[in-house]
Structure 1
Amino acid sequence: MKYLLATVLLLTPVSAFAQTPTETNSSTREFQATVETIQTDEEVDGLRHVVFDARDEDGATYTIDTADSYVEGLRFNLRAGQNILLQKVVIQDQVDGVYFVDVVRTARLGWLFALFALAAIAVGLARGALALAGLAVTLAVVFAWIFPRILGGADPLTTTVIGSVVILAVNMHLTHGFRRSTLLAFSSTIVGLGLVVLFAEAFTTFAHLSGLASEEATFLLFGSDGAIDPRGILLSGIILGAVGVFDDIAITQTETVQELREMNVRIGSRELFSRAMRVGRHHIASVVNTLVLAYVGVAMPLFLLFLLGDNIPGWRFINEELVAEEIVRTLAGTLALVLLVPISTWFATWGKKRRLFHCQAIDKTQKT
């Protein structure tokens, strides 16, 4: 924890420490500006130091020194004409300083998303377009329903479970069609959702996780005056992370069963399940590796930060709650995904079996 606090202190602007307790009439405002000229661009002790002039939308000009700002030493490739984000600090109605905060990258992110959407449609055709529509639904549910309800004081776990059901129901049927196989796959994901809730609750309790390991969780707790349960937020994060892969596993196993049945309509249910599980075991191996690497990739700066301490033994590193959260997140989500493979395979096999019996009954009725 001390290494995280040290990092926060290093990234805090100089102006934050310059204020005294009597300076109560202070405010900050962020605004966009454009880099006019670069006065200095050098490297000092391995850190990049840039001094530049910038102009805001009202025509006011500022001379900015990155050594005084949040991102001291970070290697932004600033150039003339680039849009940036500045912060103005006002104390006692006087401008105390203007600091460089970040570059404006929203337009570039838009181009990257356009490239992603184009590739999805070019390769996936209609299904790719439907997947993008499903993505829009997912974002709408998360940002327009789940997050506002949690901020409003609703239980994070219950809210996330309901939102996850909506996301799975809409996305799976929108992307894969309103078919019996899709309904079976969706039904299996509901069982998987119940499992990940069970595992998340049990694992976080067993590991004594409070949900307050990160500064963000602490700020959220105090910022909401204690109205938001930090452990509930931790559980919600575990659930959402696993739900993102449920669709893939359930649909893959259901489609595998359907293809095997179409290749041999006389295949028995036991053999059908066994063959589909052979495919599923390969899926399990790839999913486990994928999820572990995904979580490690997200938490990579955290892991490296702790490993910077030469005197930290391995057990102490693993025991740190921030690290333990990532371990529990990986284990709870991955275990639910592993069990979803046989569950979704059984649902698909059982559904196809019932449909076969129904067709046979109809044939016998017509013959008589």
Structure 2
Amino acid sequence: MSSHHTGPLPERRDRGAISYFFWAFAVTAAGLILGGWLGWAGSRTVEGTLTIFFICAVLAVLEISLSFDNAIVNANKLKDMSPVWQRRFLTWGILIAVFGMRIVFPLLIVVVAADIGPVEAIRLAASEPEAYARIMHEAHLSIAAFGGTFLMMVGLGFFFDHEKDIHWVRWLEERIARYASVKGIEIALVLGVVMAISQLHGGDKGHSFLVSAIWGLITFLAVEVLGGILDRNEAMKTGAQGGLGAFLYLEVLDASFSFDGVIGAFALSQNLFVIAIGLGIGAMYVRSMTIMLVEKGTLSQYRYLEHGAFYAITILAVIMFLQSFVEIPEVITGLGGALLIGVALWSSIRWNRAAAG
């Protein structure tokens, strides 16, 4: 890969950390004002206004805490993309992430699960939020199976890599690396886990889980294959690493990350528009973090940061599978991921100090 593909705006590496979050702060202010207005329009009381305002703020914090690992994985993929595709992802990609995944995706779930038209789904979200939330809740098993399978493939793909030579949890990662050259080992492991869980559910639930998980696996493999073909063709035409395949991969990855947040959000509010505001604010911080990580070369400065993110992804996949049996609060998921990344950062700083000394 050519060395000049290190960031969308390499000449701005000296920017202060806060400057990266200008648009995130602007969207936060606009979103919270809009949330307050929605609260006032719906209740005409100060209490109702403050409640919606508070829910928007909590959802934004929830999305940010769930998205540290998403930003790190985005940056990991972006640093190898051409500057043109980096910019496309950070503009179009984030629009798709905010509007597509936080607004269109919950509507699509209801369209498929309830077998109704998109217009009817929007009407249901606006006028019958309880019924809308119930349909979303009933679709939770399938979403957990699909998202969990996709994310588990992403997580295991990082560890089962024969070229990976930096190990954080050495005793575990070195053992995994020994089997990295075995073809299809991640697929076999994931299928084994999926089969076991579907057997535990049994009946219609087990069948539903298995079918959704298989679709998650097929989606992951299809994105990998399509991404490889697209980027290979682009590289042959332009003589440079492309980005369309990686762009698609990142969009599907973001979708899988947002499953958890979107479903969890319904525990706090049944109003689709309130959820979209809260999660949309969070998504802007993911974009800001991603740009900062790429431009400042943070991933190369802190050698275990990626490891922490991929451990968090693998654990999130396990949690999504467990959520098909029991409810696990989003706070645990968010804080768990953030804690892992924090420990990875601390380990990286310690390593840097030892290396410098």
TM-score by length of 2: 0.29
Q: Where is the strand percentage greater, Structure 1 or Structure 2?
A: 1
Structure with greater Cα Rg: 1
Structure in which a larger fraction of residues adopt helix: 2
Larger RCO (alpha carbons 8 Å, 6+ apart) = 2
TM-score, L = length of structure 1: 0.28
